[in-house]
Amino acid sequence: MKKNTRSAAKKNPVQKEPVSSKGKSVLWAGRLSEKPEAQAFAFQSSINIDKRLVFDDIAGSKAHAAMLGKQGIIPKDSASKIVKELDRIAVEIKSGATLTIDTSSEDIHSFLEAILTERLGDAGKMVHAGRSRNDQVAVDFRLYLKRKVPRLQAELSAATIVLLDIAQLHVTSIMPGYTHLQRAQPVTLGFHLTAWCAALERDFSRFNSALARLDECPLGSGALAGSTLPLDRKATAQNLGFSRPTLNAMDAVADRDFVLELSSVCAITMTHLSRFCEDIVLWASEEFKFIDLAESWSTGSSIMPQKKNPDFAELIRGKSARTVGNLVTLFTLLKGLPYAYNKDLQEDKESLFDSIDTLSVCLRMFAGMMKSAGFNLKRMKASCSGGFLEATDTAEYLVRKGMPFRAAHETAALIVRDCIEAGQKHIADRTIGELKNKSKLFEEDIYKAITPAACVKARDLPGGPAPKEVRRQIKTLRKKLQAR
């Protein structure tokens, strides 16, 4: 008997204070008799990533503790001690002088609970009643995004406003519009930039709808199946500024749709910026020479003395790749996960944080680069001449005079061929006699109808490039960006 007892005791030595490999208290060590292996503990620790959630974790714990006190689950004075101490901890961490986050802890949740317990003793040990780190991390992440995404939207809206302001100045600045990167029809710089802004405004509203969907509080969902304690879920949801508690506890701890959605909106917005930057890189080339990037927003070459490179546009285009990669990471992370919580989910934060950071800095860089850029309006206008960009307008001229469109298209195409054969660069280089030879419908007014400015002005349908219409589009977008 004695022998047996001794060997059992040796196998399961009772540790009074469960500790991590570094001697820190861990939340779950009661079950395990052995200290975690140092490397293994470090491997599964997430504090270097989730320390960003520190103030959200504090907010969540304050709401939870206050509710526990109100519901009589823990003594009222313990609840208020916890709330006060959490406030103090927040101040100390903000100051950085009195308390720093100990990155040898397992995660931000463990770190804060350990500090509370160290300072409050038993009261600190009460805070986790009716809670799991599974609903805790879900609430923290949502709170973080509720704070952070509106700031990202402000940067998005600031970048859009920079573009709208430039667009407004250039509603009559003629430039070629392209399809297949071939000159297609005359448009204006204002119209082109407003096209970009329409895309960015949709991204802005995508953030709004993602925020609206994540506006539910997971607290009270516990590990996966709620709690036997009489938690007041509505109270914590309300206290934290959520519209309502989540519907189903298992869903609440397993769900990372909100991460996918926001990662996707970041990737979509970055894809937009990337396409704009591709235009800019082209426009900055000697071949186009439409844009003159500020020297302070350009770089040189270490070997070629003449170079002025659009590195910032290129890098924004390049960085869009990582946001797409992050989205794929998240989909891959989630697709095979059984319900409910799995430690895999810990990988979700790094990806989304990176996408948010990337988008944030790229929006600021993009706005700065655009604000300081100059445009070569002469060159843009000249590029509208010589490529027969007025051919569609010529066909539509004939349609207005009664010709079926297919016949008008063919007539205009034949005129273009005649011009090319004769070494002429514009349809207007043909005499009225030559034009009438192709169709009796041509009259002198054709020459006025097909100048680049006339082509643009006549395209005044809603959505078109006519200056008046683009001014209306700009106004609409400005209004939409204000209405949040």
* Interface residue list for ligand ARG (CB under 6 A): 46, 50, 107, 133-134, 137, 341, 343, 345-346
**Per the residue annotation, which of 33, 180, 274, 298 is the catalytic one?**
180
Question: Minimum Å distance from CB 327 to ligand ARG?
Answer: 19
Instruction: Between 92 and 350, name the residue whose CB sits nearer to ligand ARG.
Output: 350
Instruction: Between 134 and 326, name the residue whose CB sits nearer to ligand ARG.
Output: 134
Instruction: Between 46 and 383, name the residue whose CB sits nearer to ligand ARG.
Output: 46
Neighbour count for residue 271 (Cβ, 10 Å): 17
**180 is a catalytic site residue:** yes
Instruction: Between 107 and 261, name the residue whose CB sits nearer to ligand ARG.
Output: 107
Do 224 and 249 meet the contact criterion of CB atoms below 8 Å apart? yes
Cα separation, 320 vs 14, whole angstroms = 53
Instruction: Between 26 and 159, name the residue whose CB sits nearer to ligand ARG.
Output: 26
Question: Minimum Å distance from CB 157 to ligand ARG?
Answer: 31
Cα separation, 173 vs 196, whole angstroms = 16
**Per the residue annotation, which of 33, 95, 209, 301 is the catalytic one?**
301
Question: Minimum Å distance from CB 49 to ligand ARG?
Answer: 8
Question: Minimum Å distance from CB 354 to ligand ARG?
Answer: 15
Question: Minimum Å distance from CB 54 to ligand ARG?
Answer: 13
**Amino acid letter for position 36:** P
Instruction: Between 137 and 427, name the residue whose CB sits nearer to ligand ARG.
Output: 137
SS in 3 state form for the chain? CHHHHHHHHHHCCCCCCCECCCCCECCCCCCCCCCCCHHHHHHHCCHHHHHHHHHHHHHHHHHHHHHHHHCCCCCHHHHHHHHHHHHHHHHHHHHCCCCCCCCCCCCHHHHHHHHHHHHHCHHHHCCCCCCCHHHHHHHHHHHHHHHHHHHHHHHHHHHHHHHHHHHHHCCCCEEEEEECCEEEEEEEHHHHHHHHHHHHHHHHHHHHHHHHHCCEECCCCCCCCCCCCCCCHHHHHHHCCCCEECCCHHHHHHCCHHHHHHHHHHHHHHHHHHHHHHHHHHHCCCCCCCEECCHHHCECCCCCCCCCECHHHHHHHHHHHHHHHHHHHHHHHHHCCCCCCCHHHHHHHHHHHHHHHHHHHHHHHHHHHHHCCEECHHHHHHCCCCCCCCHHHHHHHHHHCCCCHHHHHHHHHHHHHHHHHHCCCCHHHCCHHHHHHHCCCCCCCHHHHCCHHHHHHHCCCCCCCCHHHHHHHHHHHHHHHHCC
Instruction: Between 138 and 273, name the residue whose CB sits nearer to ligand ARG.
Output: 138
SS in 3 state form for 464-478? CCCHHHHHHHHHHHH
Question: Minimum Å distance from CB 131 to ligand ARG?
Answer: 11
Instruction: Between 169 and 337, name the residue whose CB sits nearer to ligand ARG.
Output: 337
Distance between alpha carbon 226 and the CA centroid of its chain, in Å?
33
Question: Minimum Å distance from CB 141 to ligand ARG?
Answer: 8
Question: Minimum Å distance from CB 341 to ligand ARG?
Answer: 6
Q: Which residues are catalytic?
A: 180, 301
